[in-house]
Amino acid sequence: MATKTVKQSPSHLERTTAEPRDDTLHRVKLTHIDPVNPTIRLFQLSPILEPGRKPITFLPGQWLDVHVPGIHKAGGFTITSPPSLLQPPTNYLELAIQKSPLNPPAAWLWQSPESILGTELRIRVGGSFVWPPPLKESEITRVLFIAGGVGINPLMSIVTTLAIQKKEKGKLGFHVKFLYTTRDFEPDVSPSDILFLERLVCVFDALGDEGQFELFLTSGQRERDETEIATLSVTGKQLKVQRRRIYDTDLLDALGPVEERAGTVCYICGVPMMTDEFVEKAKHAMGIDERNVLSEKWW
Ligand SMILES: Cc1cc2nc3c(=O)[nH]c(=O)nc-3n(C[C@H](O)[C@H](O)[C@H](O)COP(=O)(O)OP(=O)(O)OC[C@H]3O[C@@H](n4cnc5c(N)ncnc54)[C@H](O)[C@@H]3O)c2cc1C
């Protein structure tokens, strides 16, 4: 008699086995937990300083192997904060973790905050989806970010770093375009429920005329007019929202004029179908050097 086998999806360690990772395992303390919405929580991890030990360093876009007590295999979660927040006086790394009863480290982190705050965790930095890109910064004319759902996480660390760089130098020297698509919320959108939306509006405010942010909200079951455009008040600013998915034409427009695309760098991190489709389109777009199309997969 044939036995039915249930195919287990690979763990984070199996998915990222070919990725570079640091050789040091660092001790950190879980210092803050903030809910964003019913399915996403923000976590702050602060280093436990040990004399003579290498400090934690990372590049914007990298993730952590996170070892939680009692679970043998590490979970994999992306750092959403910029490296500067790991310096005094803030001293922390931030993660945004989706509720997932199936993934043991995520389930551990979704216990009641009171029962896990102050716990010591072990982390290791890894990943190659990072800022700066392979193209020399002086040759970059445009950076396009495309985020879908929790795929915003690595891109949040990168754009925040760019906003800090702009503040320090007064100018980036290239244009930053950001297309963010996520699920709409019923019955009306609460901007604070959308992961990092308020933060992104502040980042693009800081980038001024060197940045442009566009939000696309897609509905779950609700049937919508595909072309619906609305405005959302976010941190006192009116943000134009398109209630549709990101089309190929949005991607091609955002890559810039064909004759200028040698200086375009594109970062894509979204949901499965969307990421593969956009990576293929961007890599084969006229004028684009496919080495400048970077993507991260979580599955
Ligand atoms: C590079 C990268 C970055 C990521 N960044 C984030 C992020 O920032 N935020 C976020 O919420 N998610 C992130 N993820 C996804 C996260 O690691 C989990 O995949 C996620 O929690 C979804 O889990 P799941 O319910 O789909 O189960 P899966 O992770 O698909 O696990 C399925 C099954 O595999 C087994 N399994 C998986 N992991 C373990 C483990 N560590 N120990 C024991 N058994 C295990 C379990 O039996 C589980 O039922 C990232 C993943 C990758 C690869």
Question: Can you give the pLDDT at residue 273?
Answer: 87
How far apart are the two ends of the chain, measured CA to CA in Å? 32
Question: Beta partners for 269?
Answer: 147
- How many angstroms does the Cα of residue 75 sit away from the middle of ligand 1? 6
Q: Say if 14-126 and 137-295 have the same CATH topology.
A: no
| Pocket test residue of 21, 33, 102, 271 for ligand 1, highest count of atoms within 8 A of CB | 102
- How far away, in angstroms, is 74 Cα from ligand 1 center? 9
Distances (CA, A) of 80 to 138, 172, 277: 25, 21, 24
Instruction: List the CATH code of the domain at 137-295.
Output: 3.40.50.80
- Specify the residue with its C-alpha closest to ligand 1, atom 28: 103
21: Cβ contacts below 8 Å, ≥ 6 apart: 65, 124, 125, 126, 127
Give the pLDDT score at 183. 85
Residue 218 CA, ligand 1 centroid: distance in Å: 24
CA-wise closest residue to 296 among 74, 16, 43: 16
Output the residue whose Cα is nearest ligand 1's atom 23: 103
CATH homologous superfamily for the domain 14-126 = Translation factors (2.40.30.10)
> What's the pLDDT at 184?
79
pLDDT given at position 1: 47
Q: What's the gap in Å between 10 CA and the centre of ligand 1?
A: 8
Residues touching ligand 1 (Cβ under 6 Å) are 8-9, 11-12, 15-16, 63, 71, 73-78, 95-98, 100, 102-106, 150, 153, 298
Residues 6+ apart with CB under 8 A from 258: 286, 287
- Which pLDDT score is estimated for 5? 53
For the chain, give every domain's residue range.
Answer: 14-126, 137-295
pLDDT of residue 225: 54
List the chain pLDDT tens, one digit each, 299 residues.
Answer: 445 555 577 888 889 999 999 999 999 999 999 999 999 999 999 999 888 889 999 999 999 999 999 999 999 999 999 999 999 999 999 999 999 999 999 999 999 999 999 999 999 999 999 999 999 999 999 999 999 999 999 999 999 999 999 999 999 999 999 999 998 766 666 788 899 999 999 999 999 999 999 999 987 654 455 567 788 889 888 898 998 999 999 999 999 999 999 999 999 999 888 899 999 999 999 999 999 999 998 87
Helix/strand/coil for 167? helix
